[in-house]
Amino acid sequence: MPTIQARGLTKRFGGDVLAVDHLDFDALPGGVTGFLGPNGAGKTTTLRMLLGLVRPTSGSVLIDGHAYRHLPQPTMKVGAVLEASGFHPARTARNHLKLIATVAGIPFGRVDECLDLVGLSDAGDRKVGGFSMGMRQRLELARALLGRPEILVLDEPANGLDPQGIAWLRDFLKWYAAEGVGNGGEGRIVIVSSHLLSEAQLTVDDVVVLAGGRLAAQGKLQDLLSGTKRAVRVRTPDADRLVAALHAAHLPASVRDGYVVSEGATPEAVGPIMVENRIEVHEMVSSTESLESLFFELTGGEGMHPGHGAGLMGDFRQ
C-alpha cells in the first residue's frame, strides 16, 4: 500500500522567507487528495520537496518510508506533472512519449496505452506544436502515467481544459485512485493541487489546506464540510441599521470587509428583517457546506477577491 507522510516539514529560502512551517500531513491510497491553499501558502514548495526538487530545511516528506531520491525506480512509483515540460514542436505525441519511455526503460506498448487513457489516440501522430493547451495537458498526464505509478502528483491539471475535458479529468482521477479497491488492493494515491474550489469539491475525497505555510486543516472533505458554519453575508449601505436589527432579532451580526455577516443564520431568517426595516440590499450570499465557505473559515478569507462573497472564490494559486 503506497503512503506519503510529512513530519515537521520546513523550508526557508535565503534564511528569511519561511515558505513551509513544520508541516505534518498524510496521504493514503484509494481516493483523491486535494492540496489547497492561497497564493504563497507553500503548496507548490511542498510538492517540490515531495518530489526531491527542493531540499527541506528540516523535517521530512517520505514515500513508502523513503525520500524520493532514494526510491529504486521513481518513475514506476510516482508520476508527476508540476509544470509544463519542454515539447519539441516538430515531434509527434507518440514519439515524444517513446523518447521518455526509452530513457525510463518502459516498453513502447505502454505509449499507446497511455495515449488511449488520456483520449489522445487519434492525435498520436500529430506534431505537438499544433496541440492546444488542453491537449498538451493531456499529453503531460500521459507522460506521468507511463510507468504505471502508484502515486500521481498533479499541479493545476485542469489548466487549459474545456468544461468537457474537466469533467473527463474528474472521472479519470477518481477511477485511477480507486482502481483495485475491493479486489484485494488498496488503490492509488492521487494528489491534486488546484485553485478551482468548486471543481475540487466534485473531485477530491480528502483535503490538505495550507495557509501561510502551515497546515490549516486535513481530513475527509465531507467530515470537514459537516463542521462548516452556515452564514449569510449582505452588502448594504445601511450596514449599521441591519446589524442593529439582527441583534434585536437575537441573531449574531458584524461588519467584515464591507459585508454584514450573520453566522448561523439563513436567508429565510434575514430576508424578512431587511424587508421589515426597509433596508436597501445590494447583494446577499448564503454559504453552507461548500469548499469555499470551509476555506474562508479556515483562512479568514485569505485569497478571496475583495468585495466578493464566500461563494465566489478568487484565484489563490501558487
Q: Are residues 30 and 133 in the same domain?
A: yes
Mean pLDDT, the chain, integer: 87
Q: Are residues 140 and 258 in the same domain?
A: no
Q: What is the mean pLDDT of residues 118-140?
A: 94
Q: Dump pLDDT digits (tens) for 242-268.
A: 999 999 999 999 998 889 999 888 899
Question: The domain spanning residue 95 has which CATH number?
Answer: 3.40.50.300
Q: Is 108 part of any domain?
A: yes
Question: The domain spanning residue 264 has which CATH number?
Answer: 3.30.70
233 DSSP β-pair partners: 261, 285
Left if phi > 0, otherwise alpha if psi is -120 to 50, otherwise beta: which for 277? alpha
Q: Are residues 207 and 279 in the same domain?
A: no
Q: Are residues 217 and 257 in the same domain?
A: no
Order of strands, sheet of 259-263, starting from the edge strand that comes earlier in the sequence = 254-256, 259-263, 231-235, 283-287
Amino acid at 304: M
Mean pLDDT highest for which of 32-41, 65-74, 198-207, 285-294?
65-74
Q: Are residues 266 and 220 in the same domain?
A: no
Dihedral sign, Cα of residue 69, residue 75, residue 80, residue 85: positive
Helices 109-117 & 93-104 angle (0-180, nearest 10)? 130
SS (H, E, C) 285-305: EEECCCHHHHHHHHHCCCCCC
Q: What is the mean pLDDT of residues 73-91?
A: 86
Q: Is 172 part of any domain?
A: yes
Domains of the chain: total: 2
Q: Is 43 part of any domain?
A: yes
Evaluate if residue 181 carries a pLDDT over 60: yes
Residue, of 19 and 297, whose pLDDT is higher: 19
What domain range is 274 assigned to? 231-288
The pTM is what? 0.76
* Burial of 218 per CB tally in 10 Å (0-12, 13-18, 19+): middle
Q: Are residues 215 and 255 in the same domain?
A: no
Q: Dump pLDDT digits (tens) for 90-123.
A: 999 999 999 999 999 999 999 999 999 999 999 9
Give the pLDDT score at 300: 62
Q: In angstroms, how far apart are the furthest CA atoms of the chain?
A: 74
Q: What is the mean pLDDT of residues 84-88?
A: 75
